[in-house]
Amino acid sequence: MKIAVLDDWQGVAQANADWDKLRARGELVFFPDAFASDDDAVAKLVGTDIVLAMRERTQFNANLVRRLKGVKMIGTTSARTLSLDMAACVEMGIVVTSTSSGPGTPATAEIALALMLNAMRGLDQAHANMRAGKFQMGVPVGFACTGKTLGLVGVGKIGSLMARYGIALGMKVQAWSQNITDEAARAAGAAKVDKDTLMATSDVISIHYVLSDRSRGMIAAADIARMKPGAILVNTSRGPIVDEAAMLVALRAGKITVGLDVFDKEPLPADHELRCLPNAILTPHLGYCVQEVWENFYPEHVENALAFLDGKPIRVSNPEVLQKR
């Protein structure tokens, strides 16, 4: 019996659950780094019976799932399984389990707020100055939040929290989404506007949207071109929602500033241009990555794996597989 714990990028898995009962049942292997490719994943997971994944860090597309010979269970964290081809798992007879989400929603909203404030006040440069023995020289002159306009792309749970933060800071809040209603905007404390208005009149635009075929590339070149000079674009949702090439054009021209916690490819390649642009404030997809979430995800991973090994699986996302067993 071999159990693989994937994508432990911060090295937090072992400290946040009691793994001893699983160790007693088989070989337990922790993977701190992302797989380079599907081929790499297949090679490293040879002989694995249970895979415990972390959110969408490894993309379990249909091709990969079908190549994972011998895998009997894949554990995911949180209820959504957007990175996993459920139909392929059913086809292969693989049980998929999930965990509850913990406080990932407010944690992600807090990262969005932090990126916005950093971009408005140049805190990253101020910190670098202090580390280098300097003081104010070279730190950009910032802007107060009061009186500025915060534009929200999406007012679901995270977007609604961001609206509350903006209001508390004295900002005018407006919102747009593909399906937004007057009631939803009003409930969030935001004015409903059309997309063009939001892009053209917001001082800060913060994206809070689920990635889907419909939302991929939703913030397109024409939208970025409408942004006010000096406007800030914050993305803590998913990188592909924004046209990266168009965003890079605007960044090179110095027209906008971005605060990004998510990227088209993750981990962000070491040589990616975004790492070199002074008007790009970057964090390594830390949105949900707080201690309280780890204390939720990993113990439930262990519980799910033990229950599966005992023949009594819990938190199963594809119960139809159990009927075939």
Active site residues: 238, 266, 285
And the tokens for 41? Answer: 């994943």
And the tokens for 2? Answer: 């071999």
Q: Give every CB contact of residue 220 below 8 A, 6+ residues apart in sequence.
A: 243, 246
And the tokens for 202? Answer: 């917001």
Length of the chain: 325
**In this structure, are strands 149-153 and 50-52 parallel, antiparallel, or unpaired?**
unpaired
Cβ atoms of 282 and 296 within 8 Å: the answer is no
Cβ atoms of 33 and 4 within 8 Å: the answer is no
- Give the bridge partners for 205, in sequence order: 151, 233
Q: Give every CB contact of residue 46 below 8 A, 6+ residues apart in sequence.
A: none
Q: What are the start-end ranges of the E strands in 181-230?
A: 191-192, 204-207
Cβ atoms of 208 and 179 within 8 Å: the answer is no
End-to-end CA distance of the chain: 19
And the tokens for 189? Answer: 């404390």
- Give the bridge partners for 281, in sequence order: 259
Determine the 3-state secondary structure of 282 from DSSP.
Answer: strand
